[in-house]
Amino acid sequence: MSDELQQEYEMRFADNAPYRRAVWQILIRDFFSKWIARDAAILDLGCGWGEFINQVEAGQKFGMDLNPDSPGKLAPGVTFLAQDCSAPWSLPDETLDVVFTSNFFEHLPSKDSLRRTLEQAYRCLRPNGRLICLGPNIKHLPGRYWDFWDHYLPLTETSLSEGLRLAGFTIERELARFLPYSMSQGFAPPLFFLKAYLRCPLLWRFLGRQFLVIGRKRGR
């Protein structure tokens, strides 16, 4: 399983790795940083090659994945957790301020696996902590979604929000259409277009194929 994951990453991402890093630098700076305090403890769930966690500014950084290549791709200062995300996380209760995940939940084998993952995120987040979820929306990708060998779990912003509520979260933001799809299939617009796109939500309604859902753990 880990060898297959390693091969999939190489096939999909090796050729455009520098572009992906540049894209994530913009996404973090121009969009996601508003939800992440500079001194936050943050976990990148399904961190892959670390495009997000290596570049986000935070006080304490963790990456979780089963890809054998992940540890060698993570920046110094990122603590790597090699484990199944649906098993108990090797972190104490209320350790994290943010759990971030991008294009990962669709790779889980079942809703039960996702449910257990959400429960672990809730346990490890501090009160008022956030779970930020980005992923392909099956409503807007009914065919292309299945072009990937390891896509198992079809989700929409509505179904994921319901799962988050069942795990105890309140929904802070729910967007059916956010980012286009997908860099792994050669979609590589100029970086200036991405900057303009993030400043123009009207475009999201026409080009967005990925949902954005942000859940918040209840405060005391």
Q: How many residues does the chain have?
A: 220
Contacts of 85 (CB under 8 A, 6+ apart): 45, 46, 64, 108, 117, 120
Domains of the chain in start order, with CATH, are 2-216 (3.40.50.150)
Bridge pairing between strands 96-102 and 210-216: unpaired
| pTM: predicted TM-score of the whole model, two decimal places | 0.91
| Tens digit of each residue's pLDDT (9 = 90 or more) over 61-80 | 999 999 999 999 999 999 99
| Tens digit of each residue's pLDDT (9 = 90 or more) over 118-169 | 999 999 999 999 999 999 999 998 888 888 888 899 999 999 999 999 999 9
Query: Has residue 1 got a pLDDT over 70?
Result: no
Helix (H) or strand (E) holding 11: helix 2-13
Residue with tokens 């520098």: 18
| Tens digit of each residue's pLDDT (9 = 90 or more) over 25-58 | 999 999 999 999 999 999 999 999 999 999 999 9
